A and B are shown apart, each in its own frame.
Chain A
């Protein structure tokens, strides 16, 4: 049990540390490094504790139940192979953190760097330790996302932004393919658990969808591991800081691709398709990467292509898929991570100390930094596969795997030759790295005078190089057991007894190795001048640039095609777009209405019907009048619209909806005031708009009138169709029955809003808050139209005194009304649970009380006496509602569960007291704050321009 929780800790710890790291101050370089370092060290420590139980039991799992009813659970599992990968992630992570402390310049914002790096370690841990394949894909995409942030760390550089974007697009779209593949596999296996899928391997391999699954899966793995033809993102990702490259592009992220290949080799492997595609791609990438690497002048570029090449080697081994090849693949993952991370760090040191990474400028550095030079030389010898170093051993195993007979296909026969050729180039570029950088005459025109870096910056490189030598000399003693455990978790009973020896006698693999080394040395030494100074690679690879092709593809997909589509499909202007929408809705409704059977009963005409009809005669006339007058007589249209609103309100009263009537009436007032405030900023409409009476305009109006009549008629028809049927059982009945028993209120509408469906209301008030803040934010930057800035004509023509007296009596009345309206608001609020009223109504009422004060006197006078802080009201309201909702958690109920009770208060009597009322109080505060904020923001516009106006008047006189 303890081990299981440690497993969970292993995933969570980096994320927690990342969150802490992100909050540390900008210049806390040491604190950040300590935090990150201790986290990584803790990870290594946890892994050490976990190892015995893995060795004994094989697998340790830690399920985390989430939504088990739909099969959505998290499952963390660790086996020997995952343990080995995790050790790389945490171990190399630790070294990278130490290195980065000295690499990053004091100007770089380190919290972002360490937070991303730690989060990346967490995502890798999640990926490696996932026992559920969906979860695995989620962490997979998370690594892509965080690597985007890390590659783009120096986001002010164009190269970093481009490289980050390219890496994200390629690896994340690969991740999507992978997701489809694992979903299909999960569907076939009947479970998304990794172990269940592995057990279902025979069914998956024989399934008709096997080839599509395989292809999608491989796209996912190949994009991540930078296999041909997706390899080009990796060299472009070299714009990242070097610690990032050392971590992501040698040890972790690119290894995720080969990790998942190995994970799923027991499921998808063993077929001819697998062999041909995986081994073929791997060999091609191995050769191409090594070939291109030889011609790169940039140190990190060389290392990037070398990484591509080595990943190709691992992929090829997995493609071959024999037990020995799989062991070799796992072994090479470790070896490559160790020597490549040290080489990246060494390249970073060189860059750091000399100011350049261009091998044409670097020369003779062994004299300036002998220790670093020695370390780098050993590491690149390991990369070349020189005996007594770790690279040699796995390369021998690779040669062995290509040489033995597998299936006799063309690819199988060609494999040894490709392997030797690629190794020759590998030896050549390693040799170039050593000779060009460290030997030869000392370089002169370097940006900085090179010297040894701080000891601690060199330490990680030294440790890794020591690992190279230790594994190279004592392979069995250092890695034998671990490798055995890791291989067993993949191969099961087929695992061979692993015994790695340095000397196997003269066998084909050794001969191939010797040929490759000799050939490599010859290639480099014979064409040295051309390689060292010539252009980057032969003409063919230069002309055929994948990165450029990718850019063009992206340009096509993200700019050209959308533009074409927009040009073809978009309607010009808002009117045309709205017309299209309305017509579409009309057509949809037409299909619904056309099939209805109509049974219109003979309407009974009583007294109430006549009155109702008269009422709506007025309402309809108001609506049509508003529609008619809105262009030239805005004020009249506003009043007419208000008339239609009042009739609506009366309808609510008539038809047993008192709550709606109250709210409608109050909102009506506020809306009218709001629009009145807005009227001022519209252009004057004293004369007719040019062309308004011309034929085209008349035709447009006629067409729109037809549409409008059709819509109105259709809506009336649908409404009638529904109203003439007898209702079925409504959900409302349930609310009616349970409102008092469960919600403790007799006003069912209010109980629904604050109790049964409180979450909807919660969302709604949040929307209201967002709208109010948007209004406020928009108006802060608002520039009014120039001709609206003048004070209105009546104000200008009247003298000051007249203005003061203008609304004297009404103003006084409005001031007197302040307290009564507040009382009304309180009254509406408290009766809300049992009688019409509630938080909404009360909030709007209080807002109106404040508004009246603004109307009654001038703004400055009122603001000198009354301070309203609408944003605080809103914040209070939202916080209170959330707190009430979250409070239910304390008692073990879901969010927003309400509790109702009646309490006997002295004097007042029996009073309903529900937590829902507190929630209602939150609604009240928020509604009030939002409305006041919006109205004041609009009203203040005239205040903002007024001083300027006075000044210009003063100049005029």
Chain B
């Protein structure tokens, strides 16, 4: 389980990085989204993997923390999901505007000369 998830994170990050280095702005957006998946999973995995143990507790009293999933990485990732959405939205708009102003979707605003 752990190794599969590690590989999955690797694939997501690898695809994301490759796209991030591409010249077209749309590629970069998709790359950032994939990278966000990878990073979110990575942060989430830092709390270790629990199957069938959600961080929802019975009401009241003392609980044994080992019986529940670690809530902290989950809280962090929940925030990260929303923020990465905001980043995507902002970047999309910058892309649209830059395309309108420069006439190209190259990330530098002009086609490569060579």
Check A626/B15 contact, CB under 8 A, given A631-B24, A659-B74, A753-B78: yes
Among A670, A752, A784, the one with the most B-chain Cβ atoms within 10 Å of its Cβ is A752
Contact of B85 among A634, A647, A670, A713 (CB under 8 A): A670
Contact of B18 among A627, A657, A678 (CB under 8 A): A627
Q: Tell me the smallest distance from the CB of B105 to a CB of chain A, in Å.
A: 6
Cβ < 8 Å to A, chain B residues 2-22: 2-22
Cβ < 8 Å to A, chain B residues 75-102: 75, 77-79, 81-83, 85-90, 92-97, 99-101
CA distance A657 to B42 in the complex (A): 14
Cβ < 8 Å to B, chain A residues 547-596: 573-575, 578-579, 582
CA distance A779 to B100 in the complex (A): 11
Q: Is A609 touching B83 in the complex (CB atoms < 8 A)? A: no
Check A608/B1 contact, CB under 8 A, given A655-B44, A660-B81, A720-B6: yes
Q: Is B45 touching A675 in the complex (CB atoms < 8 A)? A: no
List the B residue with the shortest CB-CB distance to A735: B71
Q: Tell me the smallest distance from the CB of B18 to a CB of chain A, in Å.
A: 4
Q: Is B10 touching A682 in the complex (CB atoms < 8 A)? A: no
CA distance A724 to B4 in the complex (A): 12
Per-position 1/0 for B21-63, Cβ under 8 A of A: 1111011011101100110111011111111111111111111
CA distance A647 to B4 in the complex (A): 13
Contact of B4 among A575, A616, A783 (CB under 8 A): A616
Contact of A627 among B9, B15, B50, B72 (CB under 8 A): B15
Chain A neighbourhood of B37, CB < 8 A: 623, 644-645, 648
Q: Is B21 touching A719 in the complex (CB atoms < 8 A)? A: no
Check A716/B22 contact, CB under 8 A, given A664-B81, A671-B33, A732-B71: no
Judged by a CB distance under 8 angstroms, whether A674 is at the interface is yes
Q: Is A764 touching B79 in the complex (CB atoms < 8 A)? A: yes
Q: Is B30 touching A641 in the complex (CB atoms < 8 A)? A: yes
Q: Is B69 touching A655 in the complex (CB atoms < 8 A)? A: yes
Among A616, A647, A779, the one with the most B-chain Cβ atoms within 10 Å of its Cβ is A616
CA distance A927 to B2 in the complex (A): 34
Judged by a CB distance under 8 angstroms, whether A943 is at the interface is no
Q: Is B49 touching A655 in the complex (CB atoms < 8 A)? A: yes
Q: Is B47 touching A644 in the complex (CB atoms < 8 A)? A: no
CA distance A619 to B16 in the complex (A): 13
Q: Tell me the smallest distance from the CB of A485 to a CB of chain B, in Å.
A: 60
Judged by a CB distance under 8 angstroms, whether A707 is at the interface is yes
CA distance A782 to B94 in the complex (A): 10
Among B5, B14, B48, B52, the one with the most A-chain Cβ atoms within 10 Å of its Cβ is B14
- Chain A contact residues: helix, strand, loop or mixed: helix
Per-position 1/0 for A742-763, Cβ under 8 A of B: 0000111100110001001100
Among A85-93, A113-121, A239-247, A834-842, the one that faces the other chain is A834-842
Chain A neighbourhood of B92, CB < 8 A: 674-675, 678, 938
Q: Is A713 touching B30 in the complex (CB atoms < 8 A)? A: no
Chain B neighbourhood of A670, CB < 8 A: 85
Check A749/B96 contact, CB under 8 A, given A705-B18, A836-B56: no
Chain B neighbourhood of A574, CB < 8 A: 107-108
List the B residue with the shortest CB-CB distance to A927: B82
Judged by a CB distance under 8 angstroms, whether A637 is at the interface is yes
Check A764/B90 contact, CB under 8 A, given A582-B20, A637-B30, A660-B74: no
List the B residue with the shortest CB-CB distance to A614: B4
Q: Is A612 touching B78 in the complex (CB atoms < 8 A)? A: no
Q: Tell me the smallest distance from the CB of A577 to a CB of chain B, in Å.
A: 10
Among A181-189, A520-528, A770-778, the one that faces the other chain is A770-778
Chain A neighbourhood of B79, CB < 8 A: 753, 760-761, 764
Q: Is A683 touching B105 in the complex (CB atoms < 8 A)? A: yes
Chain A neighbourhood of B18, CB < 8 A: 627, 704-705, 707-708
Q: Tell me the smallest distance from the CB of B42 to a CB of chain A, in Å.
A: 6
Judged by a CB distance under 8 angstroms, whether A715 is at the interface is yes
Chain B neighbourhood of A712, CB < 8 A: 10-15, 17
Q: Is A644 touching B51 in the complex (CB atoms < 8 A)? A: no
Check A716/B9 contact, CB under 8 A, given A631-B22, A657-B44, A753-B75: yes
Q: Is B17 touching A582 in the complex (CB atoms < 8 A)? A: yes
Cβ < 8 Å to B, chain A residues 651-692: 651-652, 654-660, 663-664, 667, 670-671, 674-675, 678-679, 681-683, 691
Judged by a CB distance under 8 angstroms, whether A768 is at the interface is yes
CA distance A101 to B51 in the complex (A): 77
Q: Is B55 touching A713 in the complex (CB atoms < 8 A)? A: no
Check A715/B81 contact, CB under 8 A, given A616-B4, A641-B33: no
Contact of B56 among A674, A730, A834 (CB under 8 A): A834
Chain B neighbourhood of A578, CB < 8 A: 20-21
CA distance A634 to B95 in the complex (A): 14
Q: Is B75 touching A783 in the complex (CB atoms < 8 A)? A: no
Chain A neighbourhood of B114, CB < 8 A: 691, 696
Q: Is A775 touching B54 in the complex (CB atoms < 8 A)? A: no
Q: Which residues of B contact A (CB under 8 A)?
A: 1-24, 26-27, 29-31, 33-34, 37-38, 40-42, 44-63, 65, 68-75, 77-79, 81-83, 85-90, 92-97, 99-101, 103-105, 107-108, 112, 114
Identify 20 residue pairs between A and B in the complex whose beta-carbon atoms are under 8 Å apart, listed by A's number: A573-B107, A575-B21, A575-B22, A582-B20, A616-B11, A644-B34, A651-B8, A655-B49, A656-B50, A656-B69, A678-B96, A682-B99, A715-B38, A723-B6, A764-B79, A767-B83, A768-B82, A772-B89, A788-B100, A840-B78
Closest 8 CB pairs of A and B: A712-B14, A716-B10, A708-B18, A733-B65, A720-B6, A748-B71, A627-B15, A723-B2
Beyond A708-B21, A740-B60, list 13 extra A-B contacts (CB 8 Å): A578-B20, A578-B21, A623-B34, A645-B37, A656-B53, A663-B81, A671-B85, A715-B10, A715-B14, A723-B3, A736-B71, A753-B75, A782-B96
Q: Which residues of A contact B (CB under 8 A)?
A: 573-575, 578-579, 582, 600, 603, 608-609, 612-613, 616, 619-620, 623-624, 626-627, 630-631, 634, 637-638, 641, 644-645, 647-648, 651-652, 654-660, 663-664, 667, 670-671, 674-675, 678-679, 681-683, 691, 696, 704-705, 707-709, 711-720, 722-724, 727, 730-733, 735-737, 739-740, 746-749, 752-753, 757, 760-761, 764, 767-768, 771-772, 774-775, 778-779, 782-785, 788, 834-836, 840, 927, 930-931, 934, 937-938, 941
